[in-house]
Amino acid sequence: MGAMKVGIITIGNELLNGFTLDRNAAWIGQQLLSAGIKVHVHHTISDDFSDIYDTLEYQWKEWECDHIIVTGGLGPTVDDITVSAFIDYFEDSEEFDREYWEKLKDRFQKLNFKMPNLNRNQAFRLKKGNMIPNKVGSARGLHYIKNHSSFFKDIKSKFKGSLSEVNFFALPGVPKEMKSMFTNYVLPEIEKTNKNKVICRSIRTTGVPESILQEKISDLIEDFKKDCDIAFLPHRMLGVDIRITSINNEKIEDLIKLILDRIKKYIYGFDNDKLEEVIANSFIKNSVTISTAESCTAGLLGAKLTDFPGSSKYYKGGSICYSNELKILDVNVDKKLIDKHGAVSEEVAGALARGIAEKNGTDMGIGITGIAGPDGGTEKKPVGLVFVGIFYKNNLYIKRYNLTPNRNTNRELTVILCLNEIRKILKSS
């Protein structure tokens, strides 16, 4: 039996025009992959009867999908294009659903709303297909089952698909309603037929470009290509995920061990691990406390360090010392140091780190100072110059970064770079 084939069809002119990002398909793909199922094909089409009809046929016949999930174009009435296309495609018809009509009326009464006459058109049911319950809205989804034999019975060549029956699901484009229907109805239906579960693991790295990672493990990629799909997924500023998918868990574990031997120092976690959460757990495990003195990042580091419940166990507080006056008055940086070296210097970053740790009585202190931009740079100290000081166990670590001309990028990237340095220091101590 071959791997299950799932197709996604997202409907909407706004998706094609770029006015709306197709987050629904991305979310569905992620949910399926978490359940060990890979998306086989994805089409984005216009809100047009013929396009919907033809794409249903195309994914069924040409792509040989076992499950086809449609989102969008499913509005409040039976006359909406997706509904009418499905009914026509499956040669079905609809009838008034009095039971559901009474439920709709009751729901509106409980909310103290007058129900529009238009909602009466939502109270229909299919004669051949099934209605998908909507727990967070009023328009229900559609579910049809089509037998492969109706098309393949006269074909002598072996059918490549894995199932004799194909599920067709129509869901609304409203994310809240779509997610509810998918989670409560569609995914359980698909999982019933999943015989060859795909295993997906991610190795999360930071501080190294994709090209270097590929170079370091290129021979492993070649050795395992028959059993494992390996993809490099760069994330904005943070780093690169190495995603491995296979139906053979043993092969995945063997490959992960080999990759760890090559690039261990760049790896901060696996699968859904977050860099800041890994660091938070390390603080708690090692009973390390921290405080921060931030200039150009203006509290962004402190915000990251407190993203998780229980952060008060390690994070004691900080100073957003944007001005020189506050660096002096709040963090006890010597004015002469600023006058001599400038506020953006390794000396001041170090003084901020030591000063905030001593002031707050924490094991670790962080000092950040830099020129975020777009103005304020000079020939000697250009926009994007940032110094990070880390004071820990009476040692002072200073990092200098020459970043970008973009203000927001510089601030966000500084925080990520700083977090990674903290991770490395905690790991080596």
Q: With 80 as the cut, is the pLDDT of residue 76 above it?
A: no
Q: With 60 as the cut, is the pLDDT of residue 235 above it?
A: yes
**Quick one: which H or E segment has residue 245?**
strand 239-246
Per-residue pLDDT at 151: 53
Identify whether the C-beta of residue 345 lies closer than 8 Å to the C-beta of residue 386.
no
Per-residue pLDDT at 201: 94
Please tell me the least confidently modeled range out of 16-30, 143-157, 321-335. 143-157
Closest Cα to residue 209, out of 180, 164, 240, 163? 240
Please tell me the least confidently modeled range out of 25-34, 48-57, 118-127, 270-279. 118-127
Average pLDDT, the chain: 91
Q: With 50 as the cut, is the pLDDT of residue 1 above it?
A: no
Tokens at residue 380, please? 């000697």
Tokens at residue 58, please? 């195309």
pLDDT digits (tens, 9 = 90+) for 350-398: 999 999 999 999 999 999 999 999 989 898 999 999 999 999 999 999 9
Q: Are strands 395-402 and 385-392 parallel, antiparallel or unpaired?
A: antiparallel
Per-residue pLDDT at 4: 87
Per-residue pLDDT at 380: 92
155 pLDDT band, cuts 50/70/90, is: very low
Tokens at residue 185, please? 């109805």
* Residue 186, Cβ density class (10 Å: 0-12 exposed, 13-18 middle, ≥19 buried): buried
CA distance linking residue 381 with residue 76, whole number of Å: 60
CA distance linking residue 208 with residue 239, whole number of Å: 7
pLDDT digits (tens, 9 = 90+) for 159-177: 444 557 999 999 999 999 9
Closest Cα to residue 170, out of 158, 161, 184, 181? 181
CA distance linking residue 201 with residue 53, whole number of Å: 36
Tell me the percentage of the chain whose pLDDT exceeds 70: 93
Per-residue pLDDT at 80: 77
Per-residue pLDDT at 55: 98
Per-residue pLDDT at 307: 93
Closest Cα to residue 415, out of 259, 209, 206, 234? 206
Segment 78-99 mean pLDDT: 89
CA distance linking residue 155 with residue 364, whole number of Å: 71
Task: Tell me if residue 397 falls in helix, strand or coil.
Answer: strand
Per-residue pLDDT at 159: 46
CB under 8 Å to 315, separation ≥6 — which residues? 283, 289, 290, 291, 302, 305, 306
Identify whether the C-beta of residue 85 lies closer than 8 Å to the C-beta of residue 45.
no
Per-residue pLDDT at 154: 47
Q: With 70 as the cut, is the pLDDT of residue 157 above it?
A: no
pLDDT digits (tens, 9 = 90+) for 91-107: 999 999 999 988 888 88
